[in-house]
Amino acid sequence: MAQRIAIIPGDGIGKEVMPEGVRVLEAAARRFGLDLELEAFDFASCDYYLEHGQMLPDDWFETLKDFDALFYGAVGWPETVPDHVSLWGSLLQFRRRFDQYINLRPCRLLPGIQSPLAGREPGDIDFYVVRENTEGEYSSVGGRMFEGTEREIVIQETVMTRHGTDRVLKFAYELARSRPRKKLTSATKSNGIAITMPWWDERVAAMGERYPEVAVDQFHIDILTANFVMHPDWFDVVVASNLFGDILSDLGPACTGTIGVAPSANINPEGTFPSLFEPVHGSAPDIAGKGIANPIGQIWSGAMLLEHLGHREAADAVVDAFEAVLTEGDRRVLTPDVGGTGTTEALGRAIASRL
Amino acid sequence: MAQRIAIIPGDGIGKEVMPEGVRVLEAAARRFGLDLELEAFDFASCDYYLEHGQMLPDDWFETLKDFDALFYGAVGWPETVPDHVSLWGSLLQFRRRFDQYINLRPCRLLPGIQSPLAGREPGDIDFYVVRENTEGEYSSVGGRMFEGTEREIVIQETVMTRHGTDRVLKFAYELARSRPRKKLTSATKSNGIAITMPWWDERVAAMGERYPEVAVDQFHIDILTANFVMHPDWFDVVVASNLFGDILSDLGPACTGTIGVAPSANINPEGTFPSLFEPVHGSAPDIAGKGIANPIGQIWSGAMLLEHLGHREAADAVVDAFEAVLTEGDRRVLTPDVGGTGTTEALGRAIASRL
Ligand SMILES: CC(C)[C@H](C(=O)O)[C@@H](O)C(=O)O
Ligand SMILES: CC(C)[C@H](C(=O)O)[C@@H](O)C(=O)O
């Protein structure tokens, strides 16, 4: 039976990189004989919002829930729709309603990509950020009081649950255990954020008892960001709350020079609902429409999608394909962000033709 | 009349770098004929806690409130006292009760210090982080429910006030206006932290109307940390909430290779209460007791203290002194973190002898 994949390009460069993501998915499907059925949707974009006054149709949940995976581009167009409206109306709905409680983001130094860090070589940096993806600091509880006056106050509650925290920690410990170094780093801030974060530390320690093979350490988020820059080789699997994970999974790719090409997976590990795969980069209004966005973030996310659907070999082939193109370093094919003069489409085609 | 400075070494390497901070302060006072009166205190340390069951004596507020400045080393010794107990019982009390609502931290590439970023030279990176220092994410409101059960939840409220936010923004805009580039960057996360942060953006915009000469931009905290690594030259003055400022003011110095030497000022601009000056680094249990901690963070904090007390010339002389020693690069004098084989004391003496 075919596996069904919903294609949601979204906004800005999302609409430019998605065709290349699809091109490579289809090439991989042909080569490995996979039965994938792709269906495209125009919602979860600011264009849709401008037309319909909401980011998603009323029946989006029903429409999407039986897909095997969602392949998303990027969302946000602050010139016409405020970010908190577009994001809370789309991506953050998907994450919550489809209980995609793991956000998994690899940080890896790739061949042919210039790292902003001095003296680092491919192989030096290779870790995962496992981010809690449904609760924590991204809460919808709170509000304003004495609005518009000098006494105005604004409150927002961070809400962490044992249910929500333990399942992420479990995933992170298991991922760490499956890797050669078996090392887990917890991002905390228990010295300053003194209610939720000491509790987070306790849960990390409690879960650790089940995984004696895994070596655990922890850093406060401030010095942890510093260590990403100073000692990126220290890390293997890093587990973090929603906000800390958000920060670390932009900073990590930045340290490997791959912020424009980094992928991410929003996973519902039980498979009750579809998981969602999207590049880490956003809609990039500054370069949208120019046809020069790097499609590797989308393509690499497609590889994570294939792996999630059980097609390990195809996933590896996609990664090999873009690594080969990067290593080759043909400037006519590479996009400007990685030192070339090529277009989104040229790079997408070059990668697809390797498959 | 003498200006009175409270000397509070604290824990770990705080006790090792403070004597050098004092040595240099005294040398500057001699050279510029300043009338400084130094008085040392053993509280606000974990040793004090172990003896007295609290971090501070009951009358600490009365004892310290009439000092002109507080010169602090570092606090925290997690082996014996949990960080949230030691920090909330000392440093965070000072910041709040003495209404030190500005935390000011320079990020500057110094001569003779190796930056982890490729191809950056002194002069390339030179900005300030202005951090809100009394409220926001560092709140004491919240708690646990269903404790010890599977249903356990933990809540912590971020509380931002117009009073608390506007005064920090004002300080940041004025600092930006006083600098040649006149540029202010606001750290936000209004796409995800959708109650407090859109409000923060509104306050930034509202305050901006009073400072038309200042060019303002904003980045979400995730991509902002990435930009610190990729484009540190973009920044002039960065203003941020308590938590975001905490992160950025560790990451910024890390990008300049100066995490061990970065200073900070916790300022009560009105002078109603004493301001507090401390290095950014912590008590560093891993190297404490070895006599190899770099004292420049403490010494540079002393320069900020001198400037705050109106002694601009003396402050500049201290900065010139440690920059000269760094530029000279005598390995016997420099501590191991900056490529030398010297001791804390040797480096402190070398700097003092320049004054
Ligand atoms: C020790 C800790 C509570 C403190 C903070 O988070 O404010 C420190 O990291 C700092 O930046 O001064
Ligand atoms: C767009 C934004 C709401 C989102 C987040 O903060 O989760 C993004 O930064 C991400 O990391 O996926």
β partners of residue B276? B70, B266
**Quick one: which of B276, B275, B315, B318 has its CA closest to B296?**
B318
Pick from B149, B193, B259: which is nearest to A226 by CB?
A: B259
- Token pair belonging to B59: 């009358």
Across the range B128-134, mean pLDDT stands at 98
Query: Does this chain's domain B1-100+275-355 share its CATH topology with B102-267?
Result: yes
Q: What pLDDT sits at residue A121?
A: 85
Q: What is the pLDDT of residues B289-309, one digit of tens each?
A: 999 999 999 999 999 999 999
CA of A196 to the centre of ligand 1 (A): 16
Q: What pLDDT sits at residue A51?
A: 97
Chain mean pLDDT for chain A: 96
User: A215 touching B, CB under 8 A?
Assistant: no
Q: Is residue A112 over pLDDT 90?
A: no
Distance CA B256, CA B355 (A): 25
Strands of the B126-132 sheet, one edge to the other? B36-40, B3-10, B69-74, B275-279, B263-267, B102-108, B126-132, B237-240, B183-188, B215-220
Distance CA A109, CA A107 (A): 7
Give, in order, the Cα–Cα distances in Å from A6 to each of A57, A76, A255: 15, 19, 32
CA of B192 to the centre of ligand 2 (A): 6
Q: What is the pLDDT of residues A228-242, one digit of tens each?
A: 999 999 999 999 999
Q: What pLDDT sits at residue B258?
A: 82
Distance CA B226, CA B325 (A): 32
pTM of the model: 0.95
Q: What is the pLDDT of residues B207-237, one digit of tens each?
A: 999 999 999 999 999 999 999 999 999 999 9
Strand, coil or helix: what is A74?
Answer: strand
Q: What pLDDT sits at residue B122?
A: 83
Q: Is residue B123 over pLDDT 90?
A: no
Q: What is the pLDDT of residues A86-100, one digit of tens each?
A: 999 999 999 999 999
Q: Is residue A258 over pLDDT 90?
A: no
Q: What pLDDT sits at residue A310?
A: 97
Closest listed ligand to the CA of A89: 2
Q: What pLDDT sits at residue A114?
A: 85
- Which residues of chain A does B87 touch, with a Cβ-Cβ cutoff of 8 Å? 191-192, 194
Q: What pLDDT sits at residue A1?
A: 85
Q: Contact B348/B16 with Cβ under 8 angstroms?
A: no
Q: Is residue B175 over pLDDT 90?
A: yes
Q: What is the pLDDT of residues A169-213, one digit of tens each?
A: 999 999 999 999 999 999 999 999 999 999 999 999 999 999 999
Q: What pLDDT sits at residue B67?
A: 98
- At B199, is the pLDDT very low, low, confident or very high (cuts 50, 70, 90)? very high
User: A77 touching B, CB under 8 A?
Assistant: no
The Cα diameter of chain A in Å comes to 65
Whose C-alpha lies nearest to ligand 1, atom 3? A192
User: A193 touching B, CB under 8 A?
Assistant: yes
Q: Is residue A249 over pLDDT 90?
A: yes
Report residues whose beta carbon is within 6 angstroms of any ligand 2 atom. A 87, 246; B 191-192, 222
Contact flag B225-A251 (C-beta cutoff 8 Å): yes
Q: What is the pLDDT of residues B239-272, one digit of tens each?
A: 999 999 999 999 999 999 888 899 999 999 999 9
> Which CATH superfamily, name and number, covers B1-100+275-355?
Isopropylmalate Dehydrogenase (3.40.718.10)
Q: What is the pLDDT of residues A327-348, one digit of tens each?
A: 999 999 999 999 999 999 999 9
Q: What is the pLDDT of residues A52-84, one digit of tens each?
A: 999 999 999 999 999 999 999 999 999 999 988
Q: Is residue B283 over pLDDT 90?
A: yes
Q: Please give the angle made by the CA atoms of B298, B303 and B306, to the nearest 5 degrees.
A: 125
Q: What pLDDT sits at residue B73?
A: 98
Report residues whose beta carbon is within 6 angstroms of any ligand 1 atom. A 191-192, 222; B 87, 246
Q: Contact A240/A187 with Cβ under 8 angstroms?
A: yes
Pick from A83, A158, A191: which is nearest to B191 by CB?
A: A83
Distance CA B282, CA A242 (A): 26
| Distance (Å) from the alpha carbon of A189 to chain B's nearest alpha carbon | 9
Distance CA A252, CA A129 (A): 8
CA of B327 to the centre of ligand 1 (A): 30
Give percent above pLDDT 90 in chain B: 94
Distance CA A33, CA A22 (A): 16
- Which residues of chain B does A84 touch, with a Cβ-Cβ cutoff of 8 Å? 190-192, 194, 197-198
When the candidates are 3.40.718.10, 3.40.50.300, 3.40.630.30, 3.40.50.720, the CATH number that belongs to B102-267 is 3.40.718.10
Q: What pLDDT sits at residue B84?
A: 86
> Which CATH superfamily, name and number, covers A1-101+274-355?
Isopropylmalate Dehydrogenase (3.40.718.10)
Across the range A121-130, mean pLDDT stands at 92
- At B121, is the pLDDT very low, low, confident or very high (cuts 50, 70, 90)? confident
Give percent above pLDDT 90 in chain A: 94
Q: What pLDDT sits at residue B41?
A: 98
- At B135, is the pLDDT very low, low, confident or very high (cuts 50, 70, 90)? very high
1-20 of B, contacting A, C-beta below 8 A: none
Chain mean pLDDT for chain B: 96
Q: What pLDDT sits at residue B197?
A: 97
Q: What pLDDT sits at residue B23?
A: 98
Q: What is the pLDDT of residues A19-54, one digit of tens each?
A: 999 999 999 999 999 999 999 999 999 999 999 999
- At A259, is the pLDDT very low, low, confident or very high (cuts 50, 70, 90)? confident
At A31, the amino acid letter reads R
Distance CA B227, CA B35 (A): 44
Q: Contact A16/A342 with Cβ under 8 angstroms?
A: no
Q: What pLDDT sits at residue A136?
A: 98
Q: What is the pLDDT of residues B303-349, one digit of tens each?
A: 999 999 999 999 999 999 999 999 999 999 999 999 999 999 999 99
Domains of chain A: which residue ranges? 1-101+274-355, 102-267
Q: Which residue has the higher pLDDT, A155 or B114?
A: A155
Q: What is the pLDDT of residues B52-98, one digit of tens each?
A: 999 999 999 999 999 999 999 999 999 999 988 999 999 999 999 99
Strand, coil or helix: what is A128?
Answer: strand
313-342 of B, contacting A, C-beta below 8 A: none
**Quick one: which of B283, B298, B311, B299 has its CA closest to B68?**
B311
